Amino acid sequence: MRFLFLLILLAGIGIGVVYPWAMTNFSGHEIGTWRVYEQGRFKPVTVPLAARDAPVRVLVDLTARAERIVVSQQRTVLTLTAATGGRTVLASTLQFTHAENPRQVSPQLPDNVFRDEAGLIATVSPGPYIFTVGPGDAEDIEMRAVDLVLRSGVGEVDRRAQPVGFSLMAVGLIGLVLAFRYGRRRQQDPNSKPPPPRWGRGSN
């Protein structure tokens, strides 16, 4: 039973955590990376996109001197808008609160890179897209740099994956805990041992 519940737990982790992360960061191919903040200044960037690039996933990498970013739900670290032809096609707020395992810039530097997803541009009209990143209301974060990352032809994450994955994780974890407790009780209960044989070897 322990092995079965362990398999259920691992399946839940794969469906609820690994699958969405892999689809977000590795599906499709990278169009490019652009620096939108450096030396205390934000600057918009213009990126030409083609219809074949759709869908385009918009990611933002924040380089900061911090082990993790902690902000309340009402506060925003960065804002992002994407516009083409005079109309806004994407508007997003970024908090980076779920980035538990940031990338380290260098072993010699204390800075870490936190990634957050701004959203998906499902349909692309050929032409220039203007991406504008600005500050939010979380002012106590020491930002070093901010990069815009665009990925083309990315797969869409199934919205049912995370709820199903988290449910399997809960079932597997609860099952493992109960299995270990039941096994420990059987080892400690003297009545659970088989009675000695009445005849033959080992009989009294």
Beta bridge partners of 93: 79
Residue 179 has pLDDT above 80, yes or no: no
Who has greater pLDDT, 2 or 8?
8
Residue 74 has pLDDT above 60, yes or no: yes
Residue 149 has pLDDT above 60, yes or no: yes
- The predicted-structure confidence for 103-136, as pLDDT tens digits, reads as follows 887 777 778 999 999 999 999 999 999 999 999 9
Pair 119, 58: CB distance under 8 Å: yes
Pair 96, 159: CB distance under 8 Å: no
Who has greater pLDDT, 3 or 37?
37
Fold (CATH) for 28-152:
Jelly Rolls (2.60.120)
What is the average per-residue pLDDT within 89-104?
Answer: 83
Percentage of the chain with pLDDT > 70? 77
Who has greater pLDDT, 158 or 44?
44
For residues 121, 125, 130 and 133, what is the CA-based torsion angle, rounded to 10 degrees?
A: -10
What is the average per-residue pLDDT within 23-34?
Answer: 77
Confidence band (pLDDT; 50, 70, 90) for 32?
A: very high
What is the pTM (predicted TM-score) of this model? 0.65
> Three-class SS string for 2-60?
HHHHHHHHHHHHHHHHHHHHHHHHHCCEEEEEEEEEECCEECCEEEEECHHHCCEEEEE
Pair 143, 63: CB distance under 8 Å: yes
Residue 202 has pLDDT above 80, yes or no: no
Position 194 scores a pLDDT of 58
Tokens read off for 199? 């005849």
Confidence band (pLDDT; 50, 70, 90) for 102?
A: confident
Position 91 scores a pLDDT of 97
Instruction: Give the DSSP letter of residue 192.
Output: G
